[in-house]
Amino acid sequence: MTKHVLCAARELAVGEHRVFDVDGRSIGVYNVGGEFLAIRNRCPHQGGPLCEGVQVGALISEEPGTYIYDRPGEVVRCPWHAWEFDLRTGTSWFDPEHQRVKFYEVQVLTGEDVAGLMPPRPGMLPGPYRAEIVPVSVEDAYLVIDVGHIPKG
Ligand code: FES
Protein backbone atom coordinates (compact mmCIF):
# COMPACT_ATOMS: atom_id res chain seq x y z
CA MET A 1 0.00 0.00 0.00
CA THR A 2 1.49 3.30 -1.02
CA LYS A 3 -1.17 5.65 0.38
CA HIS A 4 -0.64 6.89 3.92
CA VAL A 5 -2.82 9.00 6.19
CA LEU A 6 -0.67 11.77 7.68
CA CYS A 7 -2.92 13.80 9.99
CA ALA A 8 -6.16 15.74 10.13
CA ALA A 9 -6.03 18.63 7.68
CA ARG A 10 -6.88 21.13 10.44
CA GLU A 11 -3.66 20.18 12.28
CA LEU A 12 -1.54 21.90 9.62
CA ALA A 13 -2.51 25.58 9.48
CA VAL A 14 -1.78 27.94 6.60
CA GLY A 15 1.92 28.84 6.64
CA GLU A 16 2.95 25.79 8.67
CA HIS A 17 4.78 22.66 7.65
CA ARG A 18 5.58 19.39 9.33
CA VAL A 19 7.93 16.51 8.60
CA PHE A 20 6.44 13.00 8.55
CA ASP A 21 8.09 9.60 8.43
CA VAL A 22 6.33 7.71 5.63
CA ASP A 23 7.56 4.14 5.14
CA GLY A 24 11.10 5.17 6.13
CA ARG A 25 11.06 8.32 3.99
CA SER A 26 11.27 11.72 5.64
CA ILE A 27 8.75 13.96 3.84
CA GLY A 28 7.89 17.59 4.55
CA VAL A 29 4.27 18.65 4.02
CA TYR A 30 3.53 22.39 3.65
CA ASN A 31 0.28 24.31 3.85
CA VAL A 32 0.77 27.09 1.29
CA GLY A 33 -2.31 29.29 1.31
CA GLY A 34 -4.60 26.33 2.02
CA GLU A 35 -2.97 24.08 -0.56
CA PHE A 36 -0.90 21.13 0.65
CA LEU A 37 2.48 20.50 -1.03
CA ALA A 38 5.04 17.83 -0.15
CA ILE A 39 8.73 17.22 -0.84
CA ARG A 40 11.35 14.75 0.34
CA ASN A 41 13.30 16.04 3.32
CA ARG A 42 16.64 15.25 1.72
CA CYS A 43 18.50 17.77 -0.38
CA PRO A 44 19.83 16.28 -3.66
CA HIS A 45 23.06 18.28 -3.27
CA GLN A 46 24.64 16.68 -0.20
CA GLY A 47 21.68 15.22 1.68
CA GLY A 48 20.90 18.18 3.94
CA PRO A 49 17.62 18.32 5.89
CA LEU A 50 15.86 20.39 3.26
CA CYS A 51 12.63 20.90 5.19
CA GLU A 52 14.52 22.62 8.03
CA GLY A 53 15.21 25.44 5.58
CA VAL A 54 13.24 28.66 5.31
CA GLN A 55 10.28 29.08 2.98
CA VAL A 56 10.62 31.98 0.62
CA GLY A 57 9.03 33.19 -2.60
CA ALA A 58 10.33 33.77 -6.10
CA LEU A 59 12.14 37.00 -6.85
CA ILE A 60 11.73 37.91 -10.52
CA SER A 61 13.52 40.77 -12.27
CA GLU A 62 13.16 41.82 -15.90
CA GLU A 63 15.60 44.72 -15.68
CA PRO A 64 18.08 46.19 -13.21
CA GLY A 65 16.46 48.07 -10.37
CA THR A 66 13.07 46.38 -10.56
CA TYR A 67 11.86 43.15 -9.07
CA ILE A 68 8.66 41.30 -8.25
CA TYR A 69 8.28 39.10 -5.20
CA ASP A 70 6.00 36.31 -6.40
CA ARG A 71 4.61 32.98 -5.15
CA PRO A 72 5.27 33.57 -1.44
CA GLY A 73 6.08 30.39 0.48
CA GLU A 74 6.43 28.17 -2.60
CA VAL A 75 10.23 27.87 -2.51
CA VAL A 76 12.34 26.14 0.16
CA ARG A 77 15.98 27.09 0.76
CA CYS A 78 18.22 24.29 2.02
CA PRO A 79 19.81 25.19 5.38
CA TRP A 80 23.23 23.76 4.43
CA HIS A 81 24.25 25.59 1.23
CA ALA A 82 21.13 27.60 0.33
CA TRP A 83 20.09 25.77 -2.84
CA GLU A 84 16.43 26.56 -3.51
CA PHE A 85 13.68 24.17 -4.62
CA ASP A 86 10.18 24.74 -5.93
CA LEU A 87 7.57 23.07 -3.71
CA ARG A 88 5.22 22.52 -6.67
CA THR A 89 7.64 20.71 -8.96
CA GLY A 90 10.68 19.81 -6.84
CA THR A 91 12.94 21.53 -9.36
CA SER A 92 15.86 23.66 -8.28
CA TRP A 93 16.01 27.26 -9.32
CA PHE A 94 19.61 27.24 -10.47
CA ASP A 95 19.62 24.04 -12.56
CA PRO A 96 16.02 22.93 -13.18
CA GLU A 97 17.01 20.37 -15.86
CA HIS A 98 19.32 18.36 -13.62
CA GLN A 99 18.63 19.07 -9.95
CA ARG A 100 15.33 18.26 -8.32
CA VAL A 101 13.99 16.91 -5.09
CA LYS A 102 11.20 14.33 -5.04
CA PHE A 103 7.78 15.81 -4.56
CA TYR A 104 4.45 14.20 -3.84
CA GLU A 105 0.77 14.84 -4.33
CA VAL A 106 -1.17 15.38 -1.09
CA GLN A 107 -4.88 14.58 -1.14
CA VAL A 108 -7.43 15.92 1.31
CA LEU A 109 -9.94 13.12 1.92
CA THR A 110 -12.98 12.72 4.12
CA GLY A 111 -12.94 10.34 7.06
CA GLU A 112 -15.11 7.89 5.12
CA ASP A 113 -12.67 7.91 2.19
CA VAL A 114 -9.78 7.32 4.59
CA ALA A 115 -11.61 4.37 6.19
CA GLY A 116 -11.83 2.84 2.71
CA LEU A 117 -8.02 2.89 2.47
CA MET A 118 -7.65 0.42 5.33
CA PRO A 119 -6.54 -2.97 3.96
CA PRO A 120 -8.52 -6.08 4.92
CA ARG A 121 -6.79 -8.21 7.53
CA PRO A 122 -5.17 -11.20 5.87
CA GLY A 123 -6.57 -14.57 6.80
CA MET A 124 -9.79 -13.28 8.43
CA LEU A 125 -13.06 -14.84 7.33
CA PRO A 126 -16.59 -13.74 8.29
CA GLY A 127 -18.03 -15.83 11.14
CA PRO A 128 -21.65 -16.91 11.79
CA TYR A 129 -22.46 -14.27 14.45
CA ARG A 130 -23.22 -10.60 13.97
CA ALA A 131 -22.95 -7.81 16.52
CA GLU A 132 -25.30 -4.87 16.49
CA ILE A 133 -23.82 -2.10 14.38
CA VAL A 134 -24.40 1.61 14.69
CA PRO A 135 -23.67 3.98 11.82
CA VAL A 136 -20.80 6.34 12.59
CA SER A 137 -19.66 9.21 10.42
CA VAL A 138 -16.24 10.78 10.47
CA GLU A 139 -16.59 14.41 9.56
CA ASP A 140 -13.01 15.61 9.55
CA ALA A 141 -10.77 15.86 6.49
CA TYR A 142 -7.37 14.13 6.39
CA LEU A 143 -4.13 14.60 4.51
CA VAL A 144 -3.20 11.50 2.51
CA ILE A 145 0.04 11.04 0.58
CA ASP A 146 0.75 8.45 -2.10
CA VAL A 147 4.48 7.69 -2.14
CA GLY A 148 4.02 5.26 -5.03
CA HIS A 149 2.82 8.00 -7.36
CA ILE A 150 5.14 10.78 -8.48
CA PRO A 151 3.25 13.64 -10.13
CA LYS A 152 4.67 15.26 -13.25
CA GLY A 153 6.31 18.57 -12.51
S1 FES B 1 23.00 19.97 1.04
FE2 FES B 1 21.40 21.24 0.41
S3 FES B 1 22.34 22.83 -0.64
FE4 FES B 1 23.95 21.55 -0.06
> Which of 26, 40, 46 most suits a substitution to test ligand 1, by most atoms within 8 Å of the C-beta?
46
> Would 125 be classed as within a structural domain?
no
How many angstroms is it from 104 CA to the middle of ligand 1? Answer: 20
> Which of 83, 93, 101 most suits a substitution to test ligand 1, by most atoms within 8 Å of the C-beta?
83
pLDDT class of 126 with cuts at 50, 70, 90: confident
Q: Name the pTM for this structure.
A: 0.82
Q: How far apart are CA 130 and CA 132, in angstroms?
A: 7
How are strands ordered across the β-sheet holding 55-60? 55-60, 68-77, 84-86
> Would 152 be classed as within a structural domain?
no
Is the Cβ–Cβ distance between 25 and 51 less than 8 Å? no
Count of domains for the chain? 1
pLDDT class of 120 with cuts at 50, 70, 90: low
> Would 28 be classed as within a structural domain?
yes
Is the Cβ–Cβ distance between 7 and 106 less than 8 Å? no
Q: What is the domain extent for residue 27?
A: 3-118+133-146
* CATH number of the structural domain spanning residue 97: 2.102.10.10
- C-alpha distances (whole Å) from 110 to each of 12, 23, 89, 115, 143 are 16, 22, 26, 9, 9
pLDDT in tens, 11-67: 999 999 999 999 999 999 999 999 999 999 999 999 999 999 999 998 889 999 999
> Would 123 be classed as within a structural domain?
no
> Would 127 be classed as within a structural domain?
no
Percentage of the chain beyond pLDDT 70 is 93
Residues with Cβ within 8 Å of residue 43, at least 6 apart in sequence: 49, 50, 78, 80, 83, 85, 101
